[in-house]
Chain A
Amino acid sequence: MRQTHDSSVPETIPEKSGNGFWALAWLRFRDDRVGVVSIIFVAAFFIIVFLSALGAVASDWNKEVGIHDAPPDLWGLLTPVPPPEAMGNAAQRVAQTIKTAQHGEALLPSTVVDPLAETLAQLQGERMEGAFPESRVVDPLAETLRELGAEGMVLSAVEEKNAAKRTSLPFGGDRWGRDVLTKTIKGSQISITVGLSAALLATLLGTLLGALAGYYGGRTDDVLNWAYSVFNAIPYLLLILAVAAVLQQRGVMTVILILGLTGWTGVFRLIRAEYLKHRGREYVQAARAFGVPDRRILFLHILPNVSHVALVKVSLLAVGFIKAEVILSFLGFGVAVDEVSWGSMLNDAYQELILGRWWELAAAGGAMALFVTVFSLLTDAMRDALDPKIRETS
């Protein structure tokens, strides 16, 4: 029936037009202070991720640069707590070794002298002249002595190495003395890559299928809804196990595929509902009346009008997938052991927390919280900036 005579929104003052959609969007974005701050942070994260992916930073995250569980000093801002004294502690022993070595009372002589050597050499000389030229004299101590010598060298190497290790690190060290800072950077690379790629994959898949189901309805909708129901009926973890079993390998790609292929259902449902709504809208009817091809209607006419849903969903999914990666790592389907992510860091850290070593948890958790927050704020700001209508309502 008749539409409401909606009262009194004054004619908006037309902005300088002719700048094009993106230029206008940028102008609107620039006015949003939260958006500008968040984009700076997100950009910083992306630069770090990019550099780390190129190997420019944090490529040596696996090196044990500090003593084990080195406390954080934040480049001298914090006075590091000395590592806890505990008997049988490896650090203690190493420290002891270093101490004794300095006092000249080495536990083992650096060169091992064989006491039988002279006798044996004599015997060897006699044999050569005697009746059994082929027989050889075997030194029964040789094996042990060799071992002793080798051990001495190893130990001295360890001592040397340990002496070079730092007793405190900016963000602290982990159980093996690896630098938590570089670990966090490397972990950010993996986690952000996994979270974003999987979220993009899931959103892409969900949007495509949702658009088809919502716009065409009927059989297409039935089939896709059936697929949706099947995916949703299987418990999430089982589904992940199944996909992981099919892919049969571990690694970043696998995690992205697992999350992406299982996570599209929520997007699908939302986008489908939006398309159902927009399919009946008069601007779509008008486009159909002109005979505009379906793919144009689907992706050029309707998609920009529902893209805010997808955008918000990407940020939510990215956050969710970063968390899901933790669970996957915990189950053994996460990133491989020679890789590090926020998930595996948190997984390592939660066991250490009881011993008072909070820094790894703080670093991984803090990085994750910061990224998730600025990323959500950024997508919000982007959604507002991309919507030409929003100016009217504010």
Chain B
Amino acid sequence: MTTSANTAKLTLFSVEQLSVAFRRRWQAPFLAVRELTFTIHEDETVALVGESGSGKSVTALAMMGLLPKDSADIPEVSRIVYQGCDLLRYTDEERRRLRGTDMAMIFQEPMTSLNPVFTIGYQIAEVLRLHKGMSAVASKARCIELLDEVGLPEPRRALARYPSQLSGGQQQRAMIAMALACTPRLLIADEPTTALDVTVQKQIVELLKTLKARHRMSILFISHDLALVGELADRIVVMRHGEMREEGSADQIFSSPQNRYTQALLQCRPQLGDVPSRLPVIDDFMVEATPRQTPAAFGGTPFEKGAKRKQGEGKAPPLLEVDRLRKSFFKREGLWRRYEIPAVKEASFTLRRGETLGIVGESGSGKTTLGLTLLRLHQATGGAVHFDGQNILSLSEEAFMTYRRRMQIVFQNPYASLNPRFTVGQSLIEPILLHKMASGRKAATSLAFDWLHRVGLDRDAFDKYPHEFSGGQRQRVALARALAVEPELLICDEPVSALDVSVQAQILNLLKDLQGQLGVSYLFISHDLAVVRYLCDAVMVMRDGEVVEINDVDSLYRHPQSVYTQQLLAAVPRGRGQPA
């Protein structure tokens, strides 16, 4: 394993043969990390990259000494060496003293890692008082200094704020300030930007880079996003199933990845720059992976590159015409007064049959509300929605019933979109029977089997409950359920955002295949510009409930008209060696 320029630097941390096993009831222990060895040098950013279940967070927790004592076992041979001492031999008290002063950690969800009932100032001052024994006055001054350093506006006033009064990005800044309070030698950042919007993500990454340069500290950056990691890491460790797959300098990983899994990770993520007709999936690279039914079985060659955009599709008849659609929420204040919170302000667009329109925006832009309003799951405040020529907003609930079949939705979170108390079969059969897609329970069951097969699931999925499936499998079930009533329009509300990159690729390919087979139109809601570019024919950019820009996909990505679209595109992490 090469470490190129960093060999001259001193080793700060070294993890040697780290294994972590979790004890389980009725089952053999689960090996979360297997014999992992890597080093972190001084003034270096090392990235741990892997999908969920790869053991990257467990590694971080083991380094911090935060693993649950009663269920996690670390064997004798494992060592975590810091300043010549093996931290695993330290007592709890000694490790506690190291946390905060020598090593600090920030987490994925700033909202849940800050205590909601204390002010930001109190929480940072607590660290200072505990570790440095600072007085109240001194710690307050230092707090202001820290908050200023992490770029929180008006640090003096921010001291008295509660976490809920800050935005997600500001909360993460406050978290970073807290981690920096005692100027640690190592900062562990566990997916610090995954819960944030792209533009905010970029700011946080920039902040981390600046802070690292200023304090000459090391950062262990944990992420599932290889492209993001490429923006700031010096060295990258790729993990899968608890094992290290590859270690190398960032440049080397991006330019000449040695391991097949690394290659797969780099390939299966849609890029802004070039649009393949299909995304390669991990299985295409992994020989050792168990052969299972991939969407490739439905046709389509995995590596066929180059734009295969359908030409002349503009002639297809419009399916959905939205005219100045408005949706506001009303909040009651006092007894009589209500004030309006507009979520969607005057959205107008057209979607043609068999096409895909992407709706892009950051959180709070109203894109999800727009989708739900189109399906009349929210009541529209104004405007008109014509589906196949019929204004569906003026229909009675009974008359709208047929349109409920013709318009369907797939949600972001496959963990929440299936009823946990229904088997997959029950979930599938209900809409089939409701919309009389099959006569009788027997016919409905065979139709359900049919759809399970089409989305690439086995027959025995029918009797299982949602929690027995992985995220990707659940999303397949949700897709089967929505498509089983043969809709003409499918609204996909961030269908791949909760999934690992490799699974994302599978689902995106499946969506594309099914569109080819069924001719269904997609309204694809996403915050991920690369994914949208891969899948959509046209894109609409939304911000604060307003449509900022709407254009054909190639034109929009090549020549973004509005400043906001330009900002969004600029914020997408590109990794290294990718065209900007």
Contacts and interface: CB of A to CB of B under 8 A. Distances in A.
B266 interface: no
Central interface residue in B464, B478, B482, by most chain A CB within 10 Å: B464
Interface in A1-46: 1-14, 17-18, 21
A388 B465 contact: yes
Given A7-B58, A305-B419, A394-B25, A2 B194 contact: yes
Contacts of B411: 282, 285-286
A289 B419 contact: no
B430 interface: yes
A236 interface: no
Nearest to B407: A289
B30 interface: yes
B418 interface: yes
A350 interface: no
Contact of B417 (A286, A291, A305, A394): A286
Interface in A289-326: 289-292, 301, 304-305
Q: Chain A at the B interface: mostly helix, strand, loop or mixed?
A: loop
A21 B419 CA distance: 14
B521 to A, nearest CB: 16
A10 B30 contact: yes
A85 interface: no
Contacts of B578: none
A22 to B, nearest CB: 13
B25 A7 contact: no
B55 A8 contact: yes
A105 interface: no
B52 A5 contact: yes
A13 B27 contact: yes
B196 A1 contact: yes
B467 A392 contact: yes
A287 B421 CA distance: 13
Given A5-B500, A282-B411, A286-B409, A388 B416 contact: no
B548 interface: no
A11 B469 CA distance: 7
Nearest to B364: A1
A389 interface: yes
Given A4-B109, A282-B417, A290 B431 contact: yes
Interface in B371-391: 372, 375, 377
A388 B405 CA distance: 30
Contact of B434 (A2, A8, A292, A301): A292
Contact of A17 (B56, B191, B464): B464
Nearest to A284: B419
A169 B210 CA distance: 87
A1 B363 contact: yes
B191 A11 contact: no
B434 A290 contact: yes
B434 A291 contact: yes
Contact of A4 (B51, B195, B420): B195
A285 B435 contact: no
Contacts of B415: 3
Nearest to A14: B468
B108 interface: yes
B430 A10 contact: no
B528 to A, nearest CB: 9
B55 A14 contact: no
Interface residues of A, number: 35
A146 interface: no
A292 B431 CA distance: 8
Contact of B420 (A2, A12, A292, A388): A388
A290 B460 contact: no
A63 interface: no
A283 interface: yes
A288 interface: yes
A33 B30 CA distance: 26
B203 to A, nearest CB: 15
A287 B377 CA distance: 10
Contacts of B219: none
Contact of B421 (A281, A289, A292, A305): A305
B416 A283 contact: yes
Contacts of B465: 388-389
B412 interface: yes
Contacts of A392: 467
B485 interface: yes
Contact of A12 (B413, B417, B423, B468): B468
B170 interface: no
Contact of A301 (B224, B405, B419): B419
Nearest to B109: A4
Central interface residue in A3, A305, A392, by most chain B CB within 10 Å: A3
Given A3-B498, A289-B404, A289-B408, A283 B419 contact: yes
Given A5-B191, A7-B57, A283-B417, A289 B409 contact: yes
Contacts of B51: 5
A1 B110 CA distance: 13
Contacts of B224: 5
B53 A7 contact: yes
Nearest to A17: B463
Nearest to A286: B417
B416 A282 contact: yes
A285 B421 contact: no
B430 A388 contact: no
Contact of A14 (B52, B417, B422, B464): B464
Nearest to B372: A285
Interface in A202-228: none
Contacts of A18: 463
B497 interface: yes
Interface in B487-504: 494, 497-498, 500
A290 B404 contact: yes
B527 interface: yes
A4 B467 contact: no
A298 to B, nearest CB: 13
A305 B420 contact: yes
A5 B500 CA distance: 7
Nearest to A291: B404
B52 A288 contact: no
B79 interface: no
A291 to B, nearest CB: 4
A8 B53 contact: yes
A1 B197 contact: yes
Nearest to A285: B377
Contacts of A7: 52-58
A3 B494 CA distance: 10
Contact of B108 (A4, A12, A281): A4
A283 B58 CA distance: 31
Given A4-B195, A288-B377, A388 B467 contact: yes
A250 B30 CA distance: 62
Central interface residue in A12, A17, A287, A292, by most chain B CB within 10 Å: A17
Interface string B281-294: 00000000000000
A84 B330 CA distance: 76
Nearest to B107: A4
B232 interface: no
Nearest to B223: A5
Interface of A: 1-14, 17-18, 21, 281-283, 285-292, 301, 304-305, 388-389, 392, 394
24 contacts: A2-B498, A3-B415, A5-B52, A5-B191, A5-B500, A7-B55, A7-B56, A7-B57, A8-B52, A10-B30, A10-B53, A12-B468, A14-B464, A282-B411, A285-B409, A285-B411, A286-B482, A290-B430, A290-B435, A290-B485, A291-B405, A305-B420, A388-B420, A388-B421
Given A14-B468, A290-B435, 20 more contacts: A1-B196, A1-B363, A2-B195, A7-B53, A8-B53, A8-B58, A17-B463, A18-B463, A282-B411, A282-B412, A283-B418, A285-B372, A286-B482, A289-B407, A289-B408, A291-B435, A292-B434, A388-B467, A389-B420, A389-B467
Sorted nearest first, the 10 A-B pairs with minimum C-beta distance are: A3-B498, A291-B404, A282-B417, A17-B463, A304-B421, A5-B52, A282-B411, A290-B431, A283-B419, A282-B416
